[in-house]
Structure 1
Amino acid sequence: MKANASSFASIVGEDNAVCWENIEFSRQERILQAIMPGSVPSCIVYPRTTEELAQAIAHAHQNNWRILTCGNCSKISWGGLATCVDVVISTERINQLIEHAVGDLTVTVEAGMKFSKLQAILADRLQFLALDPTVPESATIGGIIATADTNSLRQRYGGVRDQLLGITFVRADGQIAKAGGRVVKNVAGYDLMKLFAGSYSTLGIISQATFRVYPLPEISGTVVLSGRAEAISQAAETLRGSALTPTEADLLSSQVVSNLGLGKGLGLIARFQSIVESVKEQSNRLLSVGEKLGLEGTIYSAADEVDLWQKLREQMHSGVRDVIICKIGVLPTAAVEVLTSVEMGLVHVGSGLGVLRFEGEGEVVKMRSLCEGNSGFLTILSAPIAVKQKVDVWGYRGNALQIMRGIKEQFDGKNILSPGRFVAGI
């Protein structure tokens, strides 16, 4: 173990190559949540530049050492269990702002920068990155891209891959490569950004990323409707077919509604962000839709609104380690059927993507069947290791597995980058 750490120390410095036994216990615990039992990495390496990252990966490649990549470990428990990991490489110290082109509405940052820090930088110029990761305080930019981690803002702005304009990454052999650029109207080359978003670092390790950004809205307001499932379903259908333009819109299960003190039955929560007149008009129109359907309705603003969305995130993602958290996708019209079958769940109105919480693996298997019956999927994000060993994390049923394996072979022929983390053990 020490031999591996010392060999990396010649690249990144002794303080940035830490033997496993010297890593703080809390980080050890988090890392082990991502690794198949029986395998313990020799060390964790913290490169400080893209060049050091490239040298470290090249060194591992030459020695056929398998790498588990992480940022701040906020979502390292997501995805499949990595197999036979020799070394952990963290990008959290590659964390500088490269360029903020205020007039062009773009920003380029290194992968280890925390999302919260980037948002603070952008806010100083009255701009923001239109992503809402699960753990915004500690998530890094690289981790957000690797796991395609965004939530309710999909309604207006799309997913992570829709925000990316360019990336710099290190290949499995240690070579530095680029894709895309730093301008919005960029069409050169293959669209590797979409391929890398959600790849769990199995194709390469991102060191820099360029995003489009947006002006901060003048004001924000949130409408919550609650009541009978049939009425909530109709309200959601009306919202989807209307001229209303919420930035976030979710359907909530009855238990989530109850826990948040929002009423009884299922819920519909929609956030409008624009100029004052637009937010007021759109909020009242949705409230009127709810009243006609016999739903209870409330408008939240200012601190109450911020607190509501924070509590909603905590309801879905925080809690004891034994909880199983899953990402699902179904036809939007099937969202209410799904939510009436679970205690804790949230589905985005526009996309049909969502998050469900379970206490046992049996419920996961049943819900996967229901999702697949509605042209959808269920993927386990985080769960006890015993559950991930027993239940297929990804549950992939598509016909692209051969293509995915071919892509993995092209990018990482030695299979050293996060082996086992992706679909079918890729």
Structure 2
Amino acid sequence: MTIETRIAADTIVQVCRSILSPDRVYEDSSATKAIDGHERQTIVLEPETEEEVSNLLALANENGLHVSVVGGGTQLAYGNISKPIDLVIRTVRMNQVIEYSPADMTVTVQPGVVFKDLQKLLADSGQMLSIHPSCMDHATIGGIVATDLSGPSRVLYGTLRDHTIGLRVVYPNGQVIQTGGKVVKNVAGYDMTKLFIGSLGTLAMITEVTFKLKPLPLHRELCVLSGTLQQIQEISERIINSHLVPSSFEVLSGSCSAVTDLPSPWTLAVGCDEVETAAAYQTSVLTQWAKEAGLAINVRKGAAVERFWNVYHGDICGASLVIKVSTKAAGILTDLAQMKSLADQMQLPVIATCNKAQGTAAVVCKTGSVEQWEELVTRVRQMAERQKGFAVMLAGPLELRKRVDVFGQVDAAWSLMKGIKQTIDAHGIMNPGRFLGGI
């Protein structure tokens, strides 16, 4: 059902302009194509305050209008194709740092703040939000929270859920809810904050996020070891069972620009965010182990470490297809090798990457046809499910998402998720159909 059959579009525009100034209400024919697959005139809204968001969502809820919230637009290819969207709320004007307390090591921001800009602000006080998502030059905080992006640094610092201590969200009926707190020690009881992280905007609209911060590392080093799959497997096990404390621990293979100059097909990037003496110690240990195992090793320091990860993320951010796989940590590298072999057989150039310590992997494609990608997703998903794991498309073109469910089979938690959706969003107006099982 489109907006025209619910309530006249011009009437909605008029009502929205009574809530927002006229210049913040307009129509755009391409605003929802990546979300619902349709190219048609859609009403776009740019609120500046939480009160305006509350009034807009209450209006949509009363009239059964479907809403999607968009930030930098970097993750619109994640999630199933939603039901037709009537209203797009852009967070571009909600881009303020509400409160920053360097002494408490916390920061509260609006959802439209660009991640890269926030990191620059925090760096001036020697602090950082210790995640490293892809597309960070344009990704906004709201989008990062909605998709639960963390990056390679999660091996030391944890995931985005670990850093988010409070949210303010607006429910579809216009009700404003605060979860958690603004000071780490005040967070207690049932943590509703985690409920909204990774929900793809299907429950409510985030209007504020409070993070706990970490000090910027005094020194960074990255040891990039390259060799055969067996050599990488063996040294990975040795590191995991050792006293070393890596800040990143990422296995790479394939057409990743960050490692194409290295002599062997498989690479392990092991980071250290410590004082220079501690980093030098870890590097010396890894150098000795690499020599014993017959691995090549390349050491990068300071800004060169950041450049390495920026190139790595640039490849992933620009990819047409990203398949995330989660299986048992002990066998994840073997599983990844099988997935890469499958892609090679299909003559699909891919980047294969995994975090062996956490049992997660990804297959990244830049080129190929929809038919090839569909076969790859299907076969990778079958391989993952045989290992009692799962495979999710983190990015996929519209035509592929029309043919393949992004999330695959629903699990036992689906009925609980559906119940939460019905409780918070009884009329199903927030990104309907985009989440697991068409929630």
1:397 deviation in Å? 4.1
Measure the CA separation in 2 of the matches of 1:238 and 1:96: 45
Q: Classify the secondary structure of the residue corresponding to 2:225.
A: strand
Task: Kindly provide the CA deviation profile for residues 2-34 of structure 1, in whole angstroms up to 9, marking residues without a partner as x.
Answer: 43223212111111111125xxxxxx26x3111
2:388 pairs with 1:375: yes
User: Shift in Å at residue 259 of structure 1?
Assistant: 5.4
Residue 305 of structure 1: how far off its partner (Å): 2.5
Counterpart of 2:413 in structure 1 is 400
Contact (CA 8 Å) 1:258, 1:264: kept in 2 or not? no
The yes-or-no answer on 1:354 pairing with 2:361 is yes
Q: Which range moves more in the overlay, 294-303 or 55-64?
A: 294-303
- More moved, 289-298 vs 195-204: 289-298
Question: How many Å apart are 1:286 and its aligned residue?
Answer: 1.7
> 1:242 deviation in Å?
1.3
CA deviation vs aligned residue, 1:377-412 (integer Å, no higher than 9, x gap)? 111122122211111110134211111111101110
Residues 90, 380 of structure 1: alpha-carbon distance in 2 compared, 3 angstrom cutoff: same
Change (3 A) 1:190 1:316: same
Change beyond 3 A, Cα 1:163–1:387: same
Q: Report the CA distance between 1:36 and its aligned residue.
A: 3.4
Gaps of 5+ in 1: 22-27
CA drift of 1:335 comes to 2.4
After superposition, what is the alpha-carbon deviation per residue over 1:253-308, rounded to whole angstroms, capped at 9, x for unaligned?
24438853122121100111110100111122122222211111111123432222
Q: Is the 8 A contact 1:317 1:325 kept in 2?
A: no
- Give the equivalent residue in structure 1 for 2:124: 124
Residue equivalent to 1:203:
203
Q: Secondary structure at the match of 2:235?
A: helix
Shift of 1:185: 2.3
CA distance in 1 between counterparts of 2:230 and 2:171 reads 51
Could you say what secondary structure the match of 2:48 adopts?
coil
Matches within 5 A, 1:19-418: 19-21=27-29, 28=30, 31-37=32-38, 40=40, 42-256=42-256, 260-319=260-319, 323-341=320-338, 342=340, 343-358=350-365, 359=368, 360-418=373-431
Q: Check if 1:5 corresponds to 2:18.
A: no
Normalising by structure 2, we get a TM-score of 0.91
- Deviations along 1:180-227, one digit per CA (max 9) or x if unpaired, are 001112344431111111000111111001101011111101001111
Distance across 2 between alignment mates of 1:41 and 1:218: 51
- 2:288 & 2:10 partners in 1: Cα distance? 67
Quick check: 1:424 aligned with 2:425?
A: no
Contact 1:166 1:193 survives alignment (8 Å): yes
Tell me the distance in 2 between the aligned counterparts of 1:94 and 1:304.
33
What are the ranges of 5 or more consecutive residues in structure 2 without an aligned counterpart? Answer: 1-8, 341-349
Report the 3-state secondary structure (helix = DSSP H, G, I; strand = E; otherwise coil) of the residue aligned with 2:108.
Answer: strand
For 2:36, what is the secondary structure of its paired residue? Answer: coil
Query: What is the alpha-carbon distance in structure 1 between the residues aligned to residue 240 and residue 204 of structure 2?
Result: 38
Conserved 8 A contact 1:40-1:85: no
Say if 2:336 and 2:361, in contact at 8 Å, map to a contact too. Answer: no
AA paired with 1:143? Answer: G
Query: Aligned partner of 1:383: which letter?
Result: G
1:44, distance to aligned residue in structure 2 (A): 0.7
Q: Percent of aligned pairs with the same residue?
A: 30
In structure 1, C-alpha distance between the alignment counterparts of 2:200 and 2:144, rounded to whole Å = 10
How far the C-alpha of 1:167 sits from its partner, in A, is 0.3
- Tell me the TM-score normalised to structure 1 length: 0.93
Counting matched residue pairs gives 415
Post-superposition shift, 1:349? Answer: 3.0
Separation (CA, whole Å) in 1 of partners of 2:247 and 2:13: 47
Q: Write out per-residue CA displacement over residues 331-372 of structure 1, whole angstroms, 9 at most, x where no aligned residue.
A: 222222133231421112321223212432111111111122
- Verify the 8 A CA contact 1:252 1:339 in the aligned structure 2: no
Quote the residue 2:5 is aligned against. Answer: none
Amino acid at match of 2:377: V
Task: Tell me how far apart the structure 1 counterparts of residues 278 and 271 of structure 2 sit (CA, whole Å).
Answer: 12
Are the equivalent residues in 2 in contact too, given 1:35–1:85 (CA < 8 A)?
Answer: yes
- What is the deviation of 1:237? 1.0
